[in-house]
Structure 1
Amino acid sequence: MTIGRLKDIIRYPVKSFRGEHVTATTVMKYGLYGDRSHALLDDKRDGKFLTITQCPRMVLYEASFKGTETVEALPWLEVRNPEGRIFAWEEDQLKKELENAAGTSLTFKKYSPEYVPAGAIEEEHILLITDASLAKLEETWGKEKLDAARFRPNIIVSLEDKIPFIEDSWTGRKIKLGGEAVIKIERPCERCMIINVDPQTGEQEPGLLKTVVKERNNCFGMYASVVKTGEITSLDKVEFVPED
């Protein structure tokens, strides 16, 4: 049964930096290729990951891979700061900027293209939202256009039948993305203050989280685990795997 199409594919080469929109990539065992493969560790918090929660300005930094995706090595990573200056990962000036913004000392962390651990990659491998649910939440919120980037999804599904929050009923179902990749919908994503941070300005608007708490029991989007790896591309068909 066809659900819809892949409207958007987003990975986050650096944890808590702005997402990179791609037209094609590989679903790895841990999620999208290179997703959260780079991170910043907070030296003053026993090496815990630095995130938007501690440093909202992180959302204004862009990270993107330049080169071919291979299992041998990650492509070169380009980081662009809010003022448009480009850095290489682990560059001293980038480290100084981020330490000043976060008010702490930091350590750069990089994983391999074949393994990114839980914690860096969030609670599950992939986060999915749908266009119909985003549109309905935007209507409920009643303010300016609701940027999907607030929710940091990996895939946005354009539904054939525009039924808001239909994905809530998918828990336990397996879904095929394109020709090979298969994911299993695990559970709803419980939200935190990060959705209040405007991904374009870094400013906070507490009303959005309040709306999600009131109208959606603090959940929006669905977490999924990877069942089968494979290539995916934008506009690929999204369909249920027949149940046994």
Structure 2
Amino acid sequence: MLIGSMQEITRHPVKSFTGESVGRTKVMDYGLYGDRSHALMDETRPGEFLTITQFSGLAQYKAKFIGEESLLQYPQIEIITPNNRIFNWGDQALVDEIENLTKRRISLVEYKPAHVPFGAIEEENLLLVTDASLQRLKEIWGKEVDPRRFRPNLLIELNDKIPFVEETWFGKKLKIGKEVEIQLNRYCERCMIITVNPEDAKRDPSLLKTIGKERSNHFGVYASVIKTGEIQVGDEIYLLD
């Protein structure tokens, strides 16, 4: 059954940085190509990533790949800081800046395109939301909702604007375009990260309180990859029996 189309595809080359909206990309076993393939390690907490939870300012850093996707190695990553300085991943000046801001010692980690385990993805392969659910949340919260707060990989434009219909698809599969199939698995339970405005890193706890009260702390759903391939914005999406 045709349920809608792909409105936006977002990958996050660096964990906790604002990601890049892409028109087309590969879907790998681990999720979108390059999603959270690079991360900051918090050396004050050995083995732990530095994320927005520890330093909300990370949300203001923007990361994108520069160059063609390759299965041998990732393209270079360009990073734009909140002050519009431009760095490449690996630049010591970037490390110095974040260490000075966080008062923590950090190191950089990079995973390979075929790396197992799957990079710095700590939950399921993919996170998706729908346009109808975003609209309904805007009505519930009473404020504009920036989808980037929720860090979704896939934003689906539904034909029938039924809020939270994606939560009825658990255990079912979606076909995206001609090749890719994913399985919807479970709710995404939200944390303080959604309270951080990606534009200015200011926090608004009322969003998390609203979702906690009205949605049992759930917004968006996790999915795993069944069939890999390529997807693009505008692809038709089918709910499979």
TM-score range relative to shorter protein: over 0.9
Q: Secondary structure at 2:214's aligned position in 1?
A: helix
TM-score by length of 2: 0.98
User: Structure 2 CA distance, aligned partners of 1:230 and 1:222?
Assistant: 21
User: Structure 1 CA distance, aligned partners of 2:10 and 2:115?
Assistant: 18
User: Structure 1 CA distance, aligned partners of 2:232 and 2:226?
Assistant: 18
**Cα offset for 1:116?**
5.9
Q: Is the 8 A contact 2:169 2:184 kept in 1?
A: yes
User: Structure 2 CA distance, aligned partners of 1:180 and 1:40?
Assistant: 33
Q: Is the 8 A contact 2:17 2:59 kept in 1?
A: yes
Match of 1:172 in 2: 171
Match of 1:163 in 2: 162
**Identity over aligned residues, as a percent?**
52
Match of 2:237 in 1: 238
Q: Deviations over 1:93-142 (max 9, x none)?
A: 10011112222100100001122635711310000000000000011001
Q: Secondary structure at 2:77's aligned position in 1?
A: strand
TM-score by length of 1: 0.97
Q: Which runs of 5+ in 1 are unaligned?
A: none
Q: Deviations over 1:37-68 (max 9, x none)?
A: 00000001013011000010000001100111
Deviation >6 Å, runs of 4+: none
Match of 2:192 in 1: 193
Name the amino acid aligned to 1:209.
L
Aligned residues: 241
Q: Is the 8 A contact 1:118 1:124 kept in 2?
A: no
Match of 2:51 in 1: 51
Match of 1:104 in 2: 104
Q: Which runs of 5+ in 2 are unaligned?
A: none
Q: Is the 8 A contact 2:111 2:119 kept in 1?
A: no
Q: Is the 8 A contact 1:127 1:222 kept in 2?
A: yes
Name the amino acid aligned to 2:148.
A
Match of 2:203 in 1: 204
User: Structure 2 CA distance, aligned partners of 1:119 and 1:28?
Assistant: 12
Name the amino acid aligned to 1:109.
V
Q: Which range moved further: 111-120 or 13-22?
A: 111-120
Q: Secondary structure at 1:16's aligned position in 2?
A: coil
Q: Deviations over 1:183-204 (max 9, x none)?
A: 1001000000000000111000
Match of 1:19 in 2: 19
Match of 1:39 in 2: 39
User: Structure 2 CA distance, aligned partners of 1:217 and 1:68?
Assistant: 41
Name the amino acid aligned to 1:208.
L
Name the amino acid aligned to 1:75.
P
User: Structure 2 CA distance, aligned partners of 1:152 and 1:66?
Assistant: 21
Name the amino acid aligned to 2:90.
E
User: Structure 2 CA distance, aligned partners of 1:110 and 1:229?
Assistant: 22
Q: Is the 8 A contact 1:41 1:49 kept in 2?
A: yes
Q: Deviations over 1:171-221 (max 9, x none)?
A: 000111111011100100000000000011100000000000000000000
Q: Is the 8 A contact 1:36 1:116 kept in 2?
A: no
Name the amino acid aligned to 1:48.
E
